[in-house]
Amino acid sequence: MAKSDTAAVPVKGSKLMVIGGASLVGSATVDEMLARGAAEVTIFDNLSFGGRPNIAHLEGNPKVKMVQGDILKLHQLLRAAENMDGVVHLAAFMTLNFDRDPWGGIDVNIRGVQNVLEACRANKVRKLVFASSNAVYGYGPGVKGDLVENTPFHAAGAPPAAILYGSSKIMGEQLCRDAHRKWGQDYVILRYSTVYGERQHYRAANALYIVETHDAIKRGERPKVIGDGSETKHFVYVGDLACANCMALEAATTDVAVNTSGPAPITTLELVNLVAELSGRPELKAELVEPDPTKVRLTSGGAFEIVHRAAKDAIGWEPQVSMREGLSRLLAWRDASLKQAAE
């Protein structure tokens, strides 16, 4: 980790771009940048995952510019990055997308990162924040205990799509390191744990436990938990990550990768029963079921915790929103959205 006053990009008064800005994390990050006084925020997104509703509330905001573009088309990135002080890069294929389209995932998660870095170099963008993942530690029985920034990658016993995703994030991180070494590109890598919060979608394998549980409860059904429910999940609230992205820009820190996780891990059984409780149906206890071998499932061999102490030292960040509070906000948003759709 390096410290440099020139690496600090204050959000207030700056021109910033969020690549993948119509996503769950992206839309929250744009909101946070505007709240912190950004002069201009450009949302760069190809809208292939239907993110337009996430940014509908920003339509007409004079400080927000929408660019519908593709990170695989370098000329579009070069143009969009002109005069930018900082860039947050979020666009990526996740595990479920990798399972359906490995070639697309490799293109977006590796060549796309290199294109973003080239656009930053050509336009002298002062700092890049790259969204990586705790998937860089792998999946399966080897993932247990405290996961810290130098924990090695584990692949044994995990589905290929999960390993493809995790290894693509490792390559993205190394491309950032290479850009710093070759031309001094300042960057901070944030290794997100599983994200949840308002505007939640169905594309994250681990977050499906939340939304599918809520859907089942709405139908009056007992939610299902795969296995015995003892597997650990470590979530982080989307608003906390939006703050982390801004704080990474503003910190006088460069050439570093840190974990950004929630306050504490939770087992799948605890999670599902908490969703039932917060939904007002605590009697709908989880039903334990055997795994479906035809579906991608992310597993861990035992209890683990994604330790976020290094983020406090590097960028001054630590999570603020508990799982109970974050779930309450998410479920309230989903209830309101379902009610609005029914009217």
Asked if residue 316 has pLDDT above 90, the reply is yes
SS (H, E, C) 250-308: HCCEECEEEEECCCCCEEHHHHHHHHHHHCCCCCCCCEEECCCCCCCCCCECCCEEECC
Q: How confident is the model at residue 300 (pLDDT cuts 50, 70, 90)?
A: low
pLDDT in the model for residue 185? 97
Strands 266-267, 232-233: pairing kind: antiparallel
In the chain, how many domains are there? Answer: 1
Q: Comparing 125 with 286, which gets the higher pLDDT?
A: 125
Lowest mean pLDDT among 198-202, 216-220, 261-265: 198-202
Q: Comparing 226 with 274, which gets the higher pLDDT?
A: 274
User: What is the Cα–Cα distance from 225 to 167, expressed in whole angstroms?
Assistant: 28
Q: What is the CATH number of the domain that holds 156?
A: 3.40.50.720
Mean per-residue pLDDT over the chain, rounded: 91
Arithmetic mean of pLDDT, 184-191: 98
pLDDT in the model for residue 143? 78
Q: Is residue 40 classed as helix, strand or coil in its secondary structure?
A: strand
Asked if residue 302 has pLDDT above 80, the reply is no
Q: How confident is the model at residue 201 (pLDDT cuts 50, 70, 90)?
A: confident
Asked if residue 67 has pLDDT above 90, the reply is yes
User: What is the Cα–Cα distance from 105 to 237, expressed in whole angstroms?
Assistant: 25
Query: Does some domain include residue 288?
Result: no
Asked if residue 182 has pLDDT above 70, the reply is yes
Query: Does some domain include residue 188?
Result: yes
Which is nearest to 38 in space by CA: 80, 78, 2, 85?
Answer: 85
Which is nearest to 54 in space by CA: 32, 24, 90?
Answer: 24
Q: Residue 7 contacts by C-beta under 8 Å, 6 or more apart in sequence?
A: 126, 127, 186, 251, 252, 253, 254
Burial class (CB in 10 A: 0-12, 13-18, 19+), 183: exposed
Q: Comparing 94 with 127, which gets the higher pLDDT?
A: 127
Query: Does some domain include residue 337?
Result: no
Asked if residue 296 has pLDDT above 70, the reply is no
CA distances from 232 to 158, 160, 238, 303 (A): 15, 20, 19, 5
Asked if residue 2 has pLDDT above 80, the reply is no
pLDDT in the model for residue 297? 52
Q: How confident is the model at residue 299 (pLDDT cuts 50, 70, 90)?
A: low
7-27: per-residue pLDDT in tens? 899 999 999 999 999 999 999
CA distances from 150 to 166, 257, 259, 331 (A): 15, 10, 11, 35
Q: Comparing 77 with 302, which gets the higher pLDDT?
A: 77
Query: Does some domain include residue 171?
Result: yes
Q: Comparing 138 with 298, which gets the higher pLDDT?
A: 138
User: Which contacts (CB < 8 Å, 24+ apart) does range 177-183 have?
Assistant: 177/255, 179/117, 179/120, 179/121, 180/254, 180/255, 183/121
Query: Does some domain include residue 202?
Result: no
pLDDT in the model for residue 205? 62
User: What is the Cα–Cα distance from 75 to 220, expressed in whole angstroms?
Assistant: 51
Q: Which amino acid is at 20?
A: G
CA distances from 210 to 111, 207, 225, 296 (A): 32, 5, 11, 16
Query: Does some domain include residue 211?
Result: no
Q: Is residue 149 classed as helix, strand or coil in its secondary structure?
A: coil
Arithmetic mean of pLDDT, 244-251: 98
b/e code 97-112 from CB counts within 10 Å (16+ = b): bbbeebeebbbbbbeb
Q: How confident is the model at residue 115 (pLDDT cuts 50, 70, 90)?
A: very high
Asked if residue 200 has pLDDT above 60, the reply is yes
Arithmetic mean of pLDDT, 170-189: 98
CB 29 within 8 A of CB 18: yes
Query: Does some domain include residue 336?
Result: no
* Enclosing domain of residue 128: 2-197+236-262+305-320
Asked if residue 119 has pLDDT above 80, the reply is yes
Query: Does some domain include residue 122?
Result: yes
